[in-house]
């Protein structure tokens, strides 16, 4: 379940306590009455966004939110996806198809000829 985001005022406070007062994540969490993991998450997002303290004065709440939470990437069109179409997967039988639990289980379609490996190894062991 996604948790509700903190207000930008509280996020600015977390950044100020960390970079201005040099408090630990545990101390910041106690001071702001939030979870330590939430503090760590916001500090991680700020680091990835390349933010430094003090924040530039022209950085308003909307711009800060867009830096910390970049918009989700658009869905990649089907022709640009890396996975081959399902027809290709089901028409080519490989060794992994014979393994139980594989995504496409076609072991019943593979025609094996000759003695099984179990019989051959039993003869070699005796």
Task: Report mean pLDDT in 10-residue bins for the chain, 126 residues.
Answer: 78 93 94 93 91 87 88 64 55 53 52 60 54
CB 28 within 8 A of CB 39: yes
Nearest to 4 by CA among 25, 44, 35: 35
Q: Is the pTM of this model over 0.85?
A: no
At residue 112, the 3 state secondary structure works out as: coil
Residue 107: CB partners within 8 Å, gap ≥ 6? 97, 98, 99, 100
Q: Show the tokens assigned to 29.
A: 């969490």
């Amino acid at each position: 379940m996604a948790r509700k985001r903190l207000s930008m005022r509280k996020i600015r406070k977390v950044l100020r306590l960390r970079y201005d007062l040099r408090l630990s994540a545990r101390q910041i969490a106690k001071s702001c009455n939030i979870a330590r993991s939430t503090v760590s998450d916001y500090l991680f997002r700020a680091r990835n966004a390349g933010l430094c303290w003090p924040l530039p004065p022209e950085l308003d709440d909307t711009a800060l939110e867009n830096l910390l939470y970049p918009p989700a990437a658009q869905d990649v069109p089907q022709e640009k996806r890396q996975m081959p179409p399902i027809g290709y997967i089901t028409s080519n039988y490989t060794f992994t198809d014979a393994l139980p639990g594989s995504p496409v289980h076609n072991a019943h379609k593979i025609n094996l000829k000759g003695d099984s490996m179990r019989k051959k190894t039993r003869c070699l062991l005796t």
